[in-house]
Homo-oligomer: A and B are copies of this chain.
Amino acid sequence: MTIETLITQQAQQAKLGAQHLAYLPTVVKDKILLQMADALRAAQTAILAANAQDLAKAHQAGLSATLCDRLKLTPARIEGMITALTDIARLPDPVGKELACDELANGLMIHKISVPLGVLGFIYEARPNVTTDAIGLAIKSGNGIILKGGKEAIESNRAIVHAVLNAFKAVVDDPVLVNAVQFIDSTEREATHCLLAQKDYLDLIIPRGGKSLIQAIEKHTSVPVLKHLDGICHIYIDESAQKTMANHIVENAKCDRPSACNALETLLVHMHIAPHILPDIIATLTAEGVELRGCKRTLALTKNFHLKAATEADWRTEYLDNILSIKIVDNLEDAIAHINTYGSHHSDSIITKTAAHAARFLQQVDSAVVYHNASTRFTDGGVFGMGAEMGISTGKLHARGPVGLAELTTYQYRVLGHGQTRD
C-alpha cells in the first residue's frame, strides 16, 4: 500500500471513529483517559527504552543539545504526561453545553449547543511527551485525531501510542471508535504532505513547532490551520511606573524561562523614566547573563554597560534565548505603535500607575493577551484555568490565546418545532 493510500485510509477511519466519539458519555471518556494514564505508567520501561533508541540516533546525527533535551524522556517527564491525562479527565466536558437558547414567537425553540470540531490533524516536532496531551485533549473534546510527530521521536511516539491505544481498546468494545485516534507511523516527509491533503476528513490542523514549519503547512493545505506563530512579547515601562515593580516584572518575564513563547523579547521604556530605571534593569539582567541590545538612545544613556546596537531585525525577532532588545520611546502612542508593528499579537504588558494609560494600552494593543502591571509569563492554558493546552493561537479567528478544550469545539443550532413553516 502506498503511503498516500494508507494515510487516506487512516483519515477515513479517524472520521468514522470521531462520529462515535462525538457523543460518548463523559464518564466513558474520563475512564479512557485514566486508563491511558495507568497504561503509561505500566509501559514506562518500554517507553524509556524506545526513547533511548531515538536519543542514540539523535546523538549520532549530531542534533543540538536543545533538540536532544526536547526529545529526551525521563521518569519525571512521563509522570508529567500521566498528570496531564489525569487533569484532563477531571476537567468539565466541553461537549453538549447549551451556549444559548431562544424561543421564537411561533414557538420554535433554538438551542445553540457545543459540539466537537470533528477530526484534528496534529503535526509536531520531536517532543514525544506532547503526544498524550494531544490525545487526551482530543478524546475529552470528542474529536478524532491524527498524529504526525517529528521523525527523530518515532520510536518513542510508537511506544507511547501503543500503550495508550491498548488502554483505549480495553475500555471500549467498539473497533470503529478506537480508530478515532490515528498515529502516522512513518518518518517519510511525504507522509506530512499526504496528511495535509486530507481536506475531506480533517476539520483543523494544529501544528506545533517553529514559525517556518507552520508557514510551510499553511501553504500546502486547504484545511484551516490553528496558527501558533512566534511570541514576540513586549513590556512597556510607562513614565509613572513603580520602579521596583517594573524591574521585578522585567526580570521574571525575561529570565524565568527564556525558551517559552510568553517570555519577554523587547523592552520599551518611556524616555522620561529611562535614565532612572534602565541602569538598574541592565544591572539585574546582566547579572542573570542576559545579552542586551539597545536602540541609539538606549546606547547613549547606558554607555558604561557597552550594550550591543539593536538592528531593525532585532525588533522582529523571537530570541527564545537569553537576549533582550531595548528601545526608548517618546510616549504611550509610540509604544503601542511599535508593538502593533513589530509584535506577533501574543502577549504584551504595560507597567504604569496611570489608569488612563493602562486602559488605552489594553484597548489598542492588538494582541491575544494584554497585561497591566504583570508579567507576560502568565499566558498559558493551565494558568488560565483551561487545563492542558494545544497551543496558543496568535490568529484572531475561532480561538485567540490559549487553546484548551472549549476551543476544540464548535457549535450547532438545534431547532425544535411542531410543524412550523415560514411565510
Taking beta carbons and an 8 Å cutoff, which residues of A are in contact with B? 19, 22-23, 102, 104, 108, 110, 117-118, 203-204, 218-219, 222, 224, 242, 245, 248-249, 251-253, 256, 358, 362-364, 366-375, 377-379, 383-385, 395-398, 400-401, 410-423
Contacts and interface: CB of A to CB of B under 8 A. Distances in A.
Given A110-B384, A377-B422, A372 B19 contact: no
Do most interface residues of chain A lie in helix, strand or loop, or is the interface mixed? Answer: mixed
Contacts of A410: 396-397, 400
Which 5 residue pairs spanning A and B have beta carbons closest together? A374-B417, A252-B421, A377-B422, A398-B398, A245-B419
Nearest to A361: B414
Given A363-B23, A397-B410, A374 B419 contact: yes
Given A224-B395, A383-B104, A422-B256, A372 B416 contact: yes
Nearest to A224: B397
A401 B110 CA distance: 12
B22 A363 contact: yes
B369 A412 contact: yes
B117 A373 contact: no
B362 A414 contact: yes
A225 to B, nearest CB: 10
A397 B227 CA distance: 13
B110 A396 contact: no
A395 B117 CA distance: 10
Given A374-B415, A374-B419, 10 more contacts: A104-B378, A110-B384, A118-B396, A224-B224, A251-B421, A256-B421, A373-B418, A373-B419, A397-B398, A401-B412
Given A23-B363, A397-B204, A410-B397, A248 B421 contact: yes
A22 B360 CA distance: 12
A200 to B, nearest CB: 10
Given A415-B369, A415-B374, A102 B385 contact: yes
A420 B378 contact: yes
A421 to B, nearest CB: 4
A275 to B, nearest CB: 22
Contacts of A412: 367-370, 400-401
Contacts of A396: 117-118, 203, 410
Nearest to A245: B419
A381 to B, nearest CB: 11
Contacts of A222: 218-219
A419 B370 contact: no
A416 B373 CA distance: 7
A235 to B, nearest CB: 11
A241 to B, nearest CB: 10
Contacts of A218: 222
Contacts of A219: 222
Nearest to A250: B421
B419 A249 contact: yes
A422 B252 contact: yes
A251 B383 CA distance: 54
B377 A415 contact: no
Give the interface centre of A242, A253, A373 by most chain B CB atoms within 10 Å: A373
Nearest to A362: B414
Nearest to A351: B419
A184 B335 CA distance: 33
A293 to B, nearest CB: 23
Contacts of A374: 108, 415-421
Contacts of A377: 421-422
B419 A248 contact: yes
Nearest to A370: B414
A402 to B, nearest CB: 8
A416 B253 CA distance: 16
Contacts of A23: 363
Given A397-B397, A397-B398, A366 B118 contact: yes
B252 A372 contact: no
Contacts of A203: 396-397
